[in-house]
Amino acid sequence: MSQRGISFRLNLHISAFAILIISAIVFINYYFSNKILIEKIEEGAVNQSNLVISRISRITLGTEEIARNVSYQALYYFQNKDLDFFLQQVVASNKILESIHVEFIEDQQTSFTACLSTGHCLHRCNPDNEIFSDSPASLDQGTWSKPFYCMNDTSHLLVTYRMPVFHPESKKIVGLVYCEISLRKMKQMLDELKIGERGYAFIINHAGSFITHPNEKWILRRNLYIKPPVIFSSDLSEIESNIKSGKVGTGRGLSEYLNNQKAWYYFAPLPNSKWTVIIVIPEKELFKKIDFIFQKIILVSGLGILLLFMMNMLIFKRILTPLAQIAAAIQRFTTLPGKKQKSKDEIKMLVESLEDWQTKYGLLIKEQTHTATEKRKFDKDLKSARDIQLNIIPSGKPSFTDHPEIDLSAILKPAQTIGGDLYDYFFIDEHHLLIAIGDVSGKGISASLFMAVASTLIKTNANILSAKDIISRVNKELSERNSNQYFVTLFIGILDVRSGIVDYCNAAHNYPYILRNEGTVQTLSKSHGLPLGIYKNKTYGSSSIELKRGDVLLLYTDGVINSMDFNNQHYGIEKLENNLQNLIDLSADEVVNRLVKSIAIYEGESSQADDITLMAIKYLPQAENQA
């Protein structure tokens, strides 16, 4: 991926970030939706359980109520010899009963029976009182038996509710009422309840034995509390304690009946009994809807991310194509010979190109700085170069004893030890003063050398009284020996000290100013061609201007207007022109010094950003010249 272009990698990072955000949103939405759904499911399971409990309670509570009513009236109907008829009426009107038996305790036991099924009519299905072993030993209250199979029909599972018959006066127990109900009917009722597609419900007794279950082989043969568990995956002892304490609870586990599928379960006690109803629902059914919605969200999110990726790719490609073109062009220009560039990463291409450029340009300096001795030698050479440069540049305060009409002051402040600015002045002949100021591209040794060459060529070619011809000749010679592609902006003026006429040529240098003696500031806003050193055969034009007595011609380089304060704000042309308004009628030296001071105050503690050069020429012709 590191070989890919910046547009691809930028797009990939944004898309990855979008995926993270969308995934987080989807996950949070899924998490809270799932949480809400579980709450709804639990609420539904509670309602289902309440429905089951309500239906079973109608059987159990109804059986208890029938047994109480029969116990209240059994002795009366027995004494009136109508007990058989009464019991038949009770069974006929209460279909929940499988049979009802009344046994009186006398010297001889007397019993009466009524039932729906003829196989149960002779006697109770299980006369063994051991089936009531889980209940209190006394007979003075109603109690439920354990589930049992009928002795007359071993496939029929029953349960009995026993209620004592008291004598109305002595309050002694004179008999017992046994109401038998079929658990098969309870199972059928539970099976008829629709609990999802594959959900089911069953009942266990206090000991954990299955009283009902969709798998009939488990009834009274499997126990919920004995391992391996049929549904619970958590601590069995804790669940057993909660069920036996009559608590309500939920959980998740693996349903053996559903081939060990993950399932959700809910348990709740049946009132007035030691039975517990348990509802089991497969998790697939519970989360079917939300999983379907989640899949849709993922699909839509995936399509959205793909669309985002494609749109970003198109946008980034459009925006970054110029950068790619620039990087490729720079790379072609700077790549070292024999080095192959394989990266398509524009930033890496630019970095490698810059490294190659630095390698090309800095080999000599790198070799010279290997040791401290070489560094000291380099510093010494640099100081020597500065001295040479300053010797090339004439004095900033010349004394023209033969020409009192000229008041000239100049200053050059390089940003580094040596710089690329230049100025010069000298008389071509007795009446013509040449003034020049220039700014070489770049800084440092190379720029200063180029500046020295340019200064030398100006002197060499200054044998004619034409500023444009001098600049043309200098440009031609600079272009022929300019292997490093340097260039110089240059202003040359030739002042006739007799008339004040200045013939000048401006090769892309900063526009000079004339501070007129009457109080105005005039800008020489004509440029006559490109900087020198670019095109060998370039021709240049020229202009002329007349200086009056007391006028000051001010020349400067861009280091003046590019000076910056601590906020990185430039000194600028506007501030320069405003200051020039206050420099009228001053000597050339005062003009230069005040401008230098103004720039220093503006810069404050900021370091000098560029070479600063200023030259002021005040024209003071003698009286005969004015005439």
- What are the structural domain ranges in the chain? 6-184, 194-286, 289-366, 384-626
CATH architecture, domain defined by 194-286 = 2-Layer Sandwich (3.30)
Q: What is the dihedral of CA 288, 289, 293, 295, to 10 degrees?
A: 10
Please name which of 433, 541, 441, 555 lies closest in space to residue 491, comparing C-alpha atoms.
Answer: 555
User: Angle CA(465)–CA(471)–CA(475) in degrees, nearest 5?
Assistant: 150
Give per-residue burial for 523-545: e unless 16+ CB within 10 Å, then b.
ebeebbbebbbbeeebebebbeb
Q: What is the pLDDT of residue 627?
A: 42
Instruction: Report the amino acid identity of residue 286.
Output: L
Ranking 30-34, 97-101, 598-602 by mean pLDDT, the lowest is 30-34
Instruction: For the chain, report the end-to-end CA distance as a whole number of angstroms.
Output: 82
* CATH topology identical between 6-184 and 384-626: no
pLDDT at 317 over 80: no
Per-residue pLDDT of 141-188, as tens digits, reads 888 888 888 777 777 788 888 899 998 888 888 888 988 888 877 777
Q: Are 120 and 193 in contact (CB under 8 A)?
A: no
Q: What is the pLDDT of residue 107?
A: 47
**DSSP at 131:** G
CATH number at 6-184? 3.30.450.20
Average pLDDT over residues 372-376: 63
* Cα-based distances in Å from 95 to 62, 66, 181: 11, 11, 9
User: With bands split at pLDDT 50, 70 and 90, how would you rate the model's confidence at 379?
Assistant: low
Residue that wins the pLDDT comparison between 169 and 562: 562
pLDDT at 530 over 90: yes
Ranking 84-88, 367-371, 527-531 by mean pLDDT, the lowest is 367-371
What's the distance, CA 373 to chain centroid? 53
Q: Are 214 and 199 in contact (CB under 8 A)?
A: no
Average pLDDT over residues 12-17: 76
Ranking 5-14, 63-72, 197-206, 615-624 by mean pLDDT, the lowest is 5-14
Q: What is the pLDDT of residue 283?
A: 83
pLDDT at 551 over 80: yes
Ranking 115-119, 517-521, 560-564 by mean pLDDT, the lowest is 115-119
Average pLDDT over residues 197-208: 86
Q: What is the pLDDT of residue 521?
A: 94
pLDDT at 373 over 90: no
Please name which of 389, 397, 447, 420 lies closest in space to residue 559, comparing C-alpha atoms.
Answer: 420
CA separation for the pair 198, 419 (Å, rounded): 91
* Cα-based distances in Å from 416 to 129, 372, 442, 560, 569: 117, 21, 11, 15, 21
Q: Please state the pTM of the whole predicted model.
A: 0.44
Per-residue pLDDT of 381-439, as tens digits, reads 566 666 666 667 888 888 888 899 999 999 998 887 777 889 999 999 999 999 999 99
Q: What is the pLDDT of residue 225?
A: 83
CA separation for the pair 625, 627 (Å, rounded): 5
| DSSP string computed for 420-433 | SEEEEEEESSSSEE
Residue that wins the pLDDT comparison between 266 and 228: 266
Average pLDDT over residues 468-489: 89
| Helix 572-580 / helix 588-603 crossing angle, nearest 10 deg | 140
Q: Are 424 and 436 in contact (CB under 8 A)?
A: yes
Q: Going edge to edge, which strands form the sheet with 421-427?
A: 421-427, 432-440, 488-496, 501-507, 543-546
For residue 162, the number of C-alpha atoms closer than 13 Å in the C-beta half-sphere is 26
pLDDT at 340 over 70: no
CATH architecture, domain defined by 384-626 = 4-Layer Sandwich (3.60)
Per the listing, tokens 């697939």 go with: 284
Instruction: Report the amino acid identity of residue 144.
Output: W
* Cα-based distances in Å from 335 to 3, 4, 195, 480, 486: 18, 19, 76, 25, 20
CA separation for the pair 254, 264 (Å, rounded): 8
